Amino acid sequence: MRHNVVLIGFMGTGKTALGRALASRLGRPFVDTDVLIEERAGRPIPRIFAEDGEAAFRRLEAEVVAAVGNAQGSVIATGGGVVLNPENMAHLRRGGVIVALRAAPAAILARVGRGTGRPLLGADPEESVRRLLDERGPLYDDADLVVDTSTLQPEDAVRLVEMFAATWKGRDGRAPGAGGGAAHVVRVAAASRGYDVRIGRGLIDHAGGYLRDLGPAGRAAILTHPRLDALYGVRLAASLRAAGYDPVTITVPAAETSKSLRAADRLYGRLLEARLDRGSVLVVLGGGVAGDLGGFVAATFLRGIAWAAVPTTLLAQVDASIGGKTAVNHARGKNLIGAVHQPVVVIADIDTLASLPAREVRSGLAEVVKTGVIGAPGLFAYLEDCLGAVLRGDAEARTAVVARCAAYKAGVVAGDEREDAGRIVLNYGHTIGHGIEAAAAYRGVTHGEAVAVGMTLEARLAVRLGVCDAGLLERQTALLRLAGLPVRVADLRLAHRPAPDAIAGAMALDKKARAGRLRFVLPAGVGRTTVRDDVPPSLIREVLDDG
C-alpha cells in the first residue's frame, strides 16, 4: 500500500499550491478537504461559519477527514484547524506521512490578503494570526516533517517533501532524518546560494546521503575537535563512506586559539596532503570555533570549496551555523579576518546536544531568548512555558527551539546576506556583550553569558530612552535568570570583573559603529526592535555603572 502525503499547517502556508504540484509530480490524486467540505455543505466555508457556527463546521470537517483518511496513495491538503481534533490526526496518520508547512506571520498575511474572507481572523488579522499560530504551533510541530515556506521557492518545497516522502519508513521504523521525531527543514534563501537547514534526531548517520544528493563528489575532509571525533566523528565518517566519499579527519583543539591564521595555514596543508580539489567538500563538526575556522578555510582554499556545517552546540545550531559568516581572529581583535561563504547544508542533529555541559546549554539559550525578543514572540512565550523542558534535555522541546530560531534567522539572512541593513537586528545584546568579552580578554566568560548581560543592559537603555516599557525588561530578565544566565556584570563568574571604563573602551572598537557613533539594537516590544545611534554616552556609562 502506498501511504498518503498529508499536508497540515496554518492558512497561507501553501498547502493547496504545494499539494497540487506534488500530486502532479508524483502522479497521484490530489484531495483538498476544504473543497470536499464545501461540496458536501453546498456552501463556501465563510458561509458555513456565518450561518452554522464554527462547531458545526468542525463536525463536518471531521466527517470529511475520516473519509479521506481511508484513501491510499493520495496527496491530501487539510484545513488549518484540522489539528485541533486528535481523532482527525489519528485518521490521517493511519495511512499517511504528515507534513506540516509553517510560515512567518508577515508571509501569511501577505498571502491571505490581510484576512479577507477568512472568518477566524476577525477585525485584527495580524493579532489573530499570531495568537492562532502560538496556539496551534505545538500541534503542527508534531508532524513527521516540518517545512518553513516563508522564503522557500515552491519548487524547492515540493522537492523537500518529495524526497522525505520517498524515504519515509513509517512510525514503527527510523525515518532518515527523523530519528523517531519530526524532521524540520528550513530553507535559507541567500542570494549567493540557497541551502537547507535540517533539524532532527539521528541526522549524523544520514549526512553522507544528504551531501551526495546535493552534488559535491570526490574527496571529503572532516574538521572537528578530538572529543567530538570520538563521540560523533566515527559515525560521520562512516556515513560519508557509505555515500561514496573517501573522508580524511582533521582535528584542532577546541579553543579560541584555533581561530587563527596559523591554524588555517596548517589546515590548508592537510587539505593539500589529502588531495582535495575544487569539487571536494569540507564537513565541519563542532561549535563556533570549528564552524568559523572551517568556513573560513573553505571560503579561501582553492578560491572556495563546498562546506557543510554539522553544529554540535546549541549556540551553533540556533545561530552561528546559519548565515555563512566565517572568520578567524587577529591579535587586535576577534573575527577581524573573514568571509561570507554559505554552506551547502546545515545538519543540526539534536542528539549531539545531550553531550554538552550544562553551562554550554545555558550559554546557547542566551541567543534563543534574543531571537524571541527581536522577532519571534511565539518563541518567547514558548520559552516562558517550556524552558524547563529544554534545560532538562527534552528532545522535542530542543528541536522546537532550534527549528524556530533557524526559521527566524533564515528569513533575516535571506533579506540581508552580507549585513548591509536588516541583519543588524541579530546584534541585540552584542554591542555591550562584545565589550564585556573583550574587556575580560575572552577568558572566564562565555559568549552567551556576555550577551545575556548585554541584552539586560541594552534593554535598560531602551526603557530609559522610552523605547519600551519596564514590563519587557522584567519578562526578559526573568527568562534569562530561569535559564541560569547572568543579568549583571557582577553576576559573571570572574576572578577580576572588567571595570565600566574597560567595557566602554572595548565597545568603542565595535565593528558596527559608524562615524564614531555606536549603533544599538533596542527592543521596542517582544518581537519588535529599533536601531539607535543617538544614545547619549552619559546614559551608556550610567547603565554600565549600574550593571
The residue annotated as part of the active site, out of 266, 419, 464, 528, is 419
Cβ atoms of residues 527 and 377 within 8 Å:
yes
The one catalytic residue in 28, 325, 370, 497 is: 325
Which position among 4, 15, 427, 458 bears the catalytic label? 427
199 in Cβ contact with 231 (< 8 Å):
no
Active site (annotated) includes residue 419: yes
- Which one is catalytic: 259, 404, 434, 460? 434
Dihedral sign, Cα of residue 168, residue 173, residue 175, residue 181 = positive
Which of these, 253, 311, 319, 259, lies nearest to 287 by C-alpha position? Answer: 311
Cα atoms in the 13 Å half-sphere on the side-chain side of 180: 6
**Residue 340: φ, ψ to 5°:** -95, 110
409 as an active site residue: the answer is: yes
Among 38, 367, 437, 458, which one carries the catalytic annotation?
A: 367
The active-site residue, picked from 25, 58, 423, 464, is 423
For the sheet with 30-32, list strands across it: 30-32, 75-77, 4-9, 96-102, 145-148, 183-188, 195-200, 345-349, 306-311, 281-286, 219-224, 246-251
Q: How far apart are CA 432 and CA 294, in angstroms?
A: 27
Strands (E), 110-259: 145-148, 183-188, 195-200, 219-224, 246-251
Does the annotation mark 325 as catalytic?
yes
341 given a catalytic annotation: no
Task: Pick the catalytic residue from 409, 417, 458, 497.
Answer: 409
Measured from the Cβ of residue 228, the count of other Cβ atoms closer than 10 Å reads 22
Angle, nearest 10°, between helix axes 537-546 and 447-464? Answer: 120
Q: In the annotation, is 259 catalytic?
A: no
Q: For the chain, what's the residue count? A: 547
Is 303 considered catalytic here? yes
Candidates 303, 332, 392, 514; catalytic one: 303
Q: Which of 102, 430, 460, 497 is catalytic?
A: 430
Is 184 known to be catalytic?
A: no
Annotation says 430 is catalytic: yes
Please list the active-site residues. 303, 325, 367, 409, 419, 423, 427, 430, 434, 447
